[in-house]
Chain A
Amino acid sequence: MTAPTPTTGRTPEVPPPGEPARPRSRPAQRLGDRVFSGLSTAAGVAILVVLAGVALFLIIESIPVLGASAEQIDGDGGFFSYLAPLLFGTVLVAVLALLFATPLAIGIALFISHYAPRRVARTLGYLTDLLAAIPSVIYGLWGATVLAPYVVPSYEWLAENLGFIPFFAGPASATGRTILTAAVVLAVMILPIMAAINREVFLQTPALHEEAALALGATRWEMIKMSVIPYGKSGVIGGAMLGLGRALGETIAVLLVLSASGGISFNLIGQANPPTIPSNIAAQFAEATGLDVNVLVATGLVLFLLTFAVNFAARAVIARRAEFDGASG
């Protein structure tokens, strides 16, 4: 048997620690081999083609927007003034959701990985995974039916007592279907997946680090501060970015919960809320014809680029962590 050659080239971004060296031996090459390797390479290339296709077809359908005059597009100021409130609403609601979800996700993950009894922890882990799989339309139904009416009194209280803060400037919405409610629903939606990622990262903390901290007399919290948090930090950041990507692209839940009628406004509890890019596409697409369709596709292209950038950053952070692992372990 030929000697295995080192496996350096394949996926340098994520070298799985402790993976046994895979043989690069050369068994007999036959027709079947050529067909099979050709097929599998073709599948890999198909991924490239599909992703290029997504960008390409979106661009093709967006081109007519560039040639259109400002009057032909809804609103007065052309495509970019049409896009501005959408982009604002998308980013605002997603960032708020991330602000709510990140600390809770860390708390849940720590509870499951380091606080709950082992047997309970496994069940809780399954439970959060199940919740991560619930379709977004169901979260939307829940947000519009249960959450929105429930928060109306709180919004009225906020508007009365904290109205001097621009976020809570009155008058409060009577339906509760505001940016803040949509952000809470999104936070609930991305919570399970973020908690699952954080839990995985926390569980991967080398047991030796934890035991060393405990052996030095650290309390449980000090052990977590000294070994788990530093080890998991970039994983948590990466997980948060992935959660942000999901929140940016979420369509149906936002469409069902948010009553979108206004423009750019930092008022989180008012009646006039900016729409988001995906919810606007879903709301308008069925009735849109002609140039309107192209405008919607163009906003979709902007969304694609935005989530691409966020995911790219998330992968970069996670990849840095992988390098860190390689260096330390």
Chain B
Amino acid sequence: MTATTTRPPRTDDALPPVYRPLPSWVLPVLGAAAVLLALGLRALLGSGPVLTVVFAVVLFTIMVNVVSRRVEGQRRAADRTVTAVVSAMFAAAMVPLLSLVYTVVGRGSARFDLDFFTLTMRNVVGEGGGAQHAILGTLIITGLATLISVPIGMMTAIYLVEYGRGKLARNVTFLVDVMTGIPSIVAGLFAYALFVLFFGPGVRFGIGGAVALSVLMVPVVVRAVEEMLKLVPAELREASYALGVPKWRTILKVVLPAAAAGIATGITLAVARVIGETAPLLLIVGTTSSLNLDPFNGRMATLPVFTFYSFFTPGANPQPDLDRAWTAALVLMLIVLGLNLGARLIAKAFAPKGGR
């Protein structure tokens, strides 16, 4: 490459002898030029808004590369190009996610009223009605799943950290990993296949959903609690043993309290992970339009399944059903985000500072 300026010629793989960075006004000017060019292309080709932004970003990246190569050399140019590409990728990935949040909030607010939380869908055709039955059903089934998963998950984590050695512990660790990857629909099929043996074909009830959700929740609880228990310093245990405290009391009175905040965070996140599960509940719990608070008897409505059916099979006049579906989605999203923020707050209140 031959330089047209008075600077001495240089090879491509070395920095110039005296490194001169791009003046700070160059990037904004290039950005403005790229936007103008993209707008010009838009007028010329009639491209949509998304394509225009893509053009602008691509043009900007190319121009930065060319200018930087001329002034700063090949290596700096590559660095600037990658910076532009990585930032653009991040922005591109945020677009659908922001669109999702915007859509759910926008469409969900239409029916976000008191009725939605106090009425059921019993004898409701068309407008009106609410999702009280579904909200309560979700709380009952998720609560039962938590009641099943937390003791099993915590005891398994205690086993792995405090007791487990050898082949059994290795296998349990491995299988917990495998369980993390079980598709949610397979968990639903498992619950169905299990209860159909006792109750015959076509079985549907809430506790089956709780069992299916537990299959998904236990590995998450195990992983979270295990990580937290490992963080408890060995000195605390040693001090307790030195005072003659038996191991089980050491675990109950020293180790678990020391890890309590982290465990609470982990369990909250695990609840958030399963509360939005639709597929297993679709198979084993079904849905209903009335309030059913008995998880051992008959179908129950749940918020995710309510969302799904309202959207998937709306009535003859679809709009009220679609409105209810979006509001249910909004409530579900608020619950999940609330649980996540709650978990963060718990963690933040007790966490040591530092890291990112």
A residues in contact (CB < 8 Å) with B = 1, 9-14, 16, 19-23, 25, 27-30, 32-33, 35-37, 39-48, 50-51, 53-54, 57-58, 60-61, 103-104, 107-108, 110-112, 115-116, 118, 121-122, 125-126, 129-131, 133-142, 144-147, 153, 184, 188, 191-192, 195, 203, 217, 219-222, 224, 242, 245, 248-252, 255-256, 278, 281-282, 285-286, 289-290, 293, 296-297, 300, 303-304, 307-308, 310-312, 314-315
A44 with B90: CB separation less than 8 A = no
Q: Given the known A-B contacts A44-B156, A142-B100, A220-B79, are A107 and B245 also in contact in the complex, defined by CB atoms under 8 Å?
A: no
Q: Chain B contacts of A289 at CB under 8 A?
A: 201-202
B100 with A249: CB separation less than 8 A = no
A281 to B237, CA, bound (A): 50
Distance in angstroms from A81 CB to nearest chain B CB is 22
Q: Chain B contacts of A32 at CB under 8 A?
A: 246, 248-249
A142 with B89: CB separation less than 8 A = no
A20 to B155, CA, bound (A): 22
Number of A-B contacts (CB under 8 A): 315
Q: Chain B contacts of A249 at CB under 8 A?
A: 181-186
B189 with A48: CB separation less than 8 A = no
B156 with A147: CB separation less than 8 A = no
A60 to B248, CA, bound (A): 40
B159 with A44: CB separation less than 8 A = yes
A126 with B344: CB separation less than 8 A = yes
Distance in angstroms from B263 CB to nearest chain A CB is 15
A222 with B186: CB separation less than 8 A = no
Distance in angstroms from B293 CB to nearest chain A CB is 23
Q: Given the known A-B contacts A57-B193, A221-B82, are A251 and B279 also in contact in the complex, defined by CB atoms under 8 Å?
A: yes
A282 with B282: CB separation less than 8 A = yes
A60 to B320, CA, bound (A): 43
Q: Chain B contacts of A256 at CB under 8 A?
A: 308, 311-312
Distance in angstroms from B142 CB to nearest chain A CB is 12
Instruction: State the main secondary structure of chain B at its contact with A.
Output: helix
A126 to B343, CA, bound (A): 12
Chain B, interface size category, equals 35 or more
Interface residues of B in 150-208 (CB under 8 A from A): 151-156, 158-160, 162-166, 168-187, 189-190, 192-194, 196-197, 201-202
Partner of A10, one of B169, B249, B282: B169
Stretch at the interface among B28-36, B57-65, B126-134, B270-278: B270-278
Distance in angstroms from A216 CB to nearest chain B CB is 12
Q: Chain A contacts of B201 at CB under 8 A?
A: 289-290, 293
B340 with A40: CB separation less than 8 A = no
Distance in angstroms from B162 CB to nearest chain A CB is 7
B278 with A122: CB separation less than 8 A = no
B99 with A142: CB separation less than 8 A = yes
A144 to B107, CA, bound (A): 14
Distance in angstroms from B139 CB to nearest chain A CB is 15
A11 to B164, CA, bound (A): 9
B residues in contact (CB < 8 Å) with A = 15, 48, 75-76, 78-79, 82-83, 85-87, 89-90, 92-93, 96-97, 99-100, 103-104, 107, 151-156, 158-160, 162-166, 168-187, 189-190, 192-194, 196-197, 201-202, 215, 218, 222, 230, 233-234, 237-238, 241-242, 244-252, 269, 272-273, 275-279, 282-283, 286, 304, 307-308, 311-312, 325-326, 329, 332-333, 336-337, 339-340, 344, 356
A278 with B183: CB separation less than 8 A = yes
Q: Chain A contacts of B252 at CB under 8 A?
A: 36
Q: Given the known A-B contacts A23-B237, A27-B245, A35-B248, are A47 and B172 also in contact in the complex, defined by CB atoms under 8 Å?
A: yes
A221 with B183: CB separation less than 8 A = no
Q: Chain B contacts of A25 at CB under 8 A?
A: 238, 241
Q: Given the known A-B contacts A126-B344, A135-B278, A251-B278, are A219 and B93 also in contact in the complex, defined by CB atoms under 8 Å?
A: no
Partner of B283, one of A116, A222, A285, A310: A285
Q: Given the known A-B contacts A104-B93, A137-B307, A311-B177, are A41 and B237 also in contact in the complex, defined by CB atoms under 8 Å?
A: no
